[in-house]
Amino acid sequence: MMYKNRTSEDNMTLQKNDLDDLKKAKHLLENMGVAAKITQVIGAPIEKGFKLLPVKWNEKIGRITHSALSKSINAAVLTMKDASDEQVSNWWHKAAVAITGGIGGFFGLPALAIELPISTTIMLRSIADIARSEGESISSIESKIACVEVFALGSTSKSDDASETGYFAVRAALAHSVAAAAEHLAEKGIVEEGAPVLIRLIIQVAERFSIQVSEKTAVQAVPAIGAVGGVFINSLFIDHFQDMACGHFIVRRLERKYGQEKVKAAYEQL
């Protein structure tokens, strides 16, 4: 009973509407990942797909994912404006990514190196769009990096243990690289994108992102999926990251209002 009363009092530090937003954010951030969503809707062809992938395909996906993130960061985020009166273009971005998925599904696995950078750029722009809708200044370095962080959410890393898979745990794992990248960009600007601190951040994010790319690729490897399936799978793919972005930037909005520790405590109590 004492624990219940304490939880209630602690949660009251957030206004009711903000606490409701935090509940929504947690539901999005801790919900099923890409593989689970595809399995639920299509009927679990993922295991079969992994068996069809070439030997050492994971290594190739890792390289492609790293390259896709590196190429897409500036192209996507730098084209966003800070104007808050624009509507979030989730459906436009979803349609564009779905089309690239259809192309990838038609041409098969060799097309991933072409399709993924395009899809990633569109998704990153969608993420930045959502960030702006939650009050982020997309021209700020912190917001740009927060957009990149989204690709690390909703998946585990091979080095994770059971205590490192939650939303705040992932942010904590990236915190040092995020701070170093932000400091570097503030001093040197975006032109030095090959700087070690930026590469380190991209590697950490790509490690998690590549797991979800592998899951998507495994499904597309199944012959029966084809172009139509590629459209559908990429729709689920961007839908997942839009959910992660929505939850992430709701949390960041509340942190600007209440402070990170208070929001984290309320999040963990929900």
Give the alpha-carbon dihedral of 113, 212, 207, 115, to 10 degrees: 10
Reported as a single tens digit per residue, the pLDDT across 71-129 is 777 665 555 566 554 555 555 555 454 445 444 444 455 667 777 888 888 888 889 88
User: For position 80, what pLDDT does the model report?
Assistant: 59
Q: Is residue 257 part of a domain?
A: yes
35-44 contacts at long range (C-beta below 8 A, 24 or more positions apart): 35/212, 35/215, 37/236, 37/239, 37/240, 38/215, 38/216, 38/219, 38/233, 38/236, 41/232, 41/236, 42/219, 42/229, 42/232, 42/233
Q: Is residue 20 part of a domain?
A: no
Q: Is residue 106 part of a domain?
A: yes
The mean pLDDT value of the chain amounts to 74
User: For position 113, what pLDDT does the model report?
Assistant: 74
In angstroms, the CA 194 to CA 200 distance is 10
Q: Is residue 22 part of a domain?
A: no
Q: Is residue 97 part of a domain?
A: yes
Q: Is residue 113 part of a domain?
A: yes
User: For position 90, what pLDDT does the model report?
Assistant: 58
Reported as a single tens digit per residue, the pLDDT across 116-165 is 888 888 888 889 889 989 999 888 888 988 999 999 997 655 555 444 56
Share of the chain above pLDDT 90, in %: 26
Reported as a single tens digit per residue, the pLDDT across 217-263 is 776 665 555 544 556 677 778 888 889 999 999 999 999 999 999 99
Q: Is residue 24 part of a domain?
A: no
Spell out the alpha helix ranges (H) of 191-225: 196-220
More confidently predicted of 56 and 177: 177
Q: Is residue 21 part of a domain?
A: no
Number of domains in the chain: 1
Write out the residue range of the structural domain in which residue 122 sits: 31-269
